[in-house]
């Protein structure tokens, strides 16, 4: 009885759009009638409403994953051409309007070949039509709009589109990306409150650089885990010298990991260094890059274990074909090379230089004293002779 009343109320609140207003858009449904927007915090669906009306329905008769929650209902948007029925729901496993979350794992390939477990989360569901016809038969075709968003947690996959002939079924797969929510910032203090300002002449060698990779506006079910961070002379590191700050199961002895995989931010620090091949330049300039993994809270700890990865002490240049899609990069880091050399040279060098200056002064004084002594001797010699 409740279902019948609900359907009757839907008919009463039927779409304000009628078939005559649809014009050329009044046609049978097609695969391209659904558009999927895989956002970073929500998923948006847009279904062209004129084919729905042509089939005998309206936006109130399109139900998302059997959910009758008002927050999961469609709204008519006639401000666009052609008009559409819109669904929008959050990326939250506890309330995603009945969407199914499935995480798959596979061994890494190419640039990620040193990782034995690469994950992708797939979020899928279906929008179905409810036929308001009462009786034995109906002339309305059943509509089904399947959607799927694949969120790579460390790599991208291709879009696919499938059409099942002889029925009004549309399947739309799409790719989303969390890369837009990630940012890398440099700080000059351990509390991560003062952004690092790098002067034109560069920062001093061995200055502590504090790095934070942070996710903003990201669904709370994922944490940020840094798999690898490295510095390169070029902002595009494919053909550039590079230095690994840390790789899976290994890190440089001067790099200190502060937080990784425990929240929606990862932090570490390292002392400023310079590339030897830039020794003839005034400053040494390089860029910082981090390969970032988004892992579910319950699985982050498994990725920290070395037995879930293949350890590689050094990476060959063939694995450096990295684009900004896969990495987060910092602004350029500039370090001094010759200024304030006391931080580069041992104290013995300073003592030797001071000793050399003192020796020079002593020799000068001795020479001056000898000159005076010779002058006095010459004067006495002339007097004695006279």
Given this model, what pLDDT does residue 238 score?
66
Mean pLDDT of 311-333: 46
Highest averaged pLDDT of the listed ranges 108-112, 184-188, 315-319, 324-328 = 184-188
Q: Coil, strand or helix: which one is 59?
A: helix
Picking from 335, 333, 338, the residue whose alpha carbon sits closest to that of residue 205 is 335
pLDDT at 338: 61
pLDDT at 137 over 70: yes
CATH 2.60.40.4100 residue ranges of the chain are 181-341
Q: By mean pLDDT, which of 197-201, 224-228, 368-372 is the weakest? A: 368-372
- pLDDT tens profile 87-106: 999 887 677 898 988 888 76
Q: Which of 209, 285, 213, 292 is nearest to 252 (CA)?
A: 209
The answer, yes or no, to whether residue 133 has pLDDT greater than 60, is yes
Residue 319, pLDDT score:
33
Q: What is the pLDDT of residue 127?
A: 92
Q: Which residue has the tokens 């089904």?
A: 144
361 touches 313 (CB < 8 A) = no
Domain with CATH 2.60.40.3210 in the chain: 2-177
What does R_g of the chain's alpha carbons equal in angstroms? 35
pLDDT in tens, 254-311: 899 999 989 999 999 999 888 888 888 888 888 888 888 888 888 888 887 765 444 4
Asked if 270 and 233 touch (Cβ cutoff 8 Å), the reply is no
pLDDT score recorded for residue 125? 92
pLDDT (tens digit per residue) in 7-30? 444 443 445 677 777 877 888 888
Instruction: Inform me whether the pLDDT recorded for 152 exceeds 70.
Output: yes
Q: What is the per-residue DSSP string for 199-240?
A: -TT-BPTT-EEEEEEEE-S--TTEEEEEEEEEEESSSSGGGS
Express each pLDDT in 36-82 by its tens digit. 988 888 899 999 989 888 888 888 999 999 888 888 999 999 888 88
- The helix or strand, by DSSP H or E, that contains position 301, with its residue range, turns out to be helix 300-303
Mean pLDDT of 238-244: 78
Residue, of 128 and 160, whose pLDDT is higher: 128
Q: Give me the long-range contacts of 297-306 (CB less than 8 A, separation at least 24).
A: 297/221, 297/222, 297/223, 299/103, 299/119, 300/223, 300/225, 300/261, 300/262, 301/261, 302/117, 303/117, 303/225, 303/227, 303/261, 304/225, 304/260, 304/261, 306/248, 306/249
Query: What is the predicted pLDDT for the residue at 14?
Result: 46
What residues pair up with 123 in beta bridges, in sequence order? 101, 149
Contacts of 171 (CB under 8 A, 6+ apart): 31, 146, 148, 161, 162, 163, 164
Share of the chain above pLDDT 90, in %: 15
Q: What is the pLDDT of residue 266?
A: 92
H/E stretch holding 172 reads strand 169-175
- Residue 141 to residue 55: CA distance in whole angstroms: 7
Would you say 286 and 212 are in contact if contact means Cβ atoms under 8 Å apart? no
Q: Give yes or no for residue 341 having a pLDDT over 70.
A: no
**Mean per-residue pLDDT over the chain, rounded:** 74
Higher confidence at residue 139 or residue 188? Answer: 188
Q: 2-177: what fold?
A: Immunoglobulin-like (2.60.40)
Query: Of 179, 181, 190, which is closest to residue 291 (Cα–Cα)?
Result: 179
SS (H, E, C) 316-362: CHHHHCCCCCCEEECCCEEEECCCCHHHCCCHHHHHHHHHHHHHHHH
Q: Which residues is 223 bridged to in the sheet?
A: 295
Torsions phi, psi for 237 (to 5 deg): -80, 10
Q: Give residue 3's pLDDT.
A: 44
The per-residue pLDDT for range 204-239, each reduced to its tens digit, is 888 899 999 888 878 888 888 888 888 888 777 666
Give yes or no for a contact between 216 and 226, defined as CB atoms under 8 angstroms apart: no
- First-last CA distance in the chain: 148
Which CATH number does the domain 181-341 belong to among 2.60.40.4100, 1.10.10.10, 3.30.457.10, 3.40.50.40?
A: 2.60.40.4100
Q: Which two tokens stand for residue 351?
A: 């003592």
Backbone angles phi, psi at 156, to 5 degrees: -110, 155
Q: What is the mean pLDDT of residues 158-163?
A: 28
At 170 the pLDDT is 67
């Amino acid at each position: 009885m409740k279902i019948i009343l609900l359907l009757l109320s839907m008919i009463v609140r039927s779409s304000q759009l009628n078939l005559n207003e649809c014009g050329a858009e009044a046609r049978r449904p097609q695969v391209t009638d659904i558009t999927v927007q895989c956002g970073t915090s929500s998923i948006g669906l847009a279904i062209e409403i004129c084919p729905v009306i042509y089939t005998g329905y309206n936006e109130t008769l399109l139900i998302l994953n059997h959910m009758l929650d008002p927050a999961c209902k469609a709204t008519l948007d006639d401000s666009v051409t052609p008009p559409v029925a819109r669904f929008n729901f959050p990326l939250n496993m506890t309330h995603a309007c009945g969407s199914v979350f499935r995480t798959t794992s596979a061994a890494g390939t190419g640039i990620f070949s040193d990782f034995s477990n690469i994950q992708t989360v797939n979020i899928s569901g279906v929008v179905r039509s409810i036929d308001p016809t009462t009786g034995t038969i109906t002339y309305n075709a059943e509509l089904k709009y399947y959607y799927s968003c694949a969120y790579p947690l460390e790599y991208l996959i291709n879009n696919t589109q499938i059409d099942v002939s002889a029925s009004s079924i549309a399947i739309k797969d799409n790719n989303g990306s969390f890369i837009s929510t990630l940012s890398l910032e440099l700080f000059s203090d351990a509390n991560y409150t003062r952004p690092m300002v790098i002067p034109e002449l560069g920062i001093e060698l061995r200055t502590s650089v504090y790095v934070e990779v942070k996710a903003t506006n990201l669904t709370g079910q994922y944490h940020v885990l840094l798999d690898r961070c490295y510095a390169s002379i070029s902002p595009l590191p494919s053909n550039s010298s590079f230095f690994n700050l840390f790789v899976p199961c290994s890190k440089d002895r001067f790099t200190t990991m502060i937080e990784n995989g425990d929240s929606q931010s990862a932090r570490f620090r390292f002392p400023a260094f310079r590339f030897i091949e830039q020794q003839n330049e005034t400053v040494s300039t390089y860029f910082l890059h981090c390969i970032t993994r988004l892992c579910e809270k319950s699985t982050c700890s498994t990725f920290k274990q070395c037995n879930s990865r293949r350890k590689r002490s050094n990476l060959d240049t063939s694995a450096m074909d990295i684009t900004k899609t896969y990495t987060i990069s910092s602004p350029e880091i500039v370090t001094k090379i010759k200024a304030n050399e006391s931080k580069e040279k041992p104290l013995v060098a300073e003592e030797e230089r001071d000793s050399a200056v003192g020796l020079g002064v002593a020799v000068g004084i001795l020479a001056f004293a000898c000159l005076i002594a010779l002058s006095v001797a010459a004067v006495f010699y002339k007097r004695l002779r006279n």
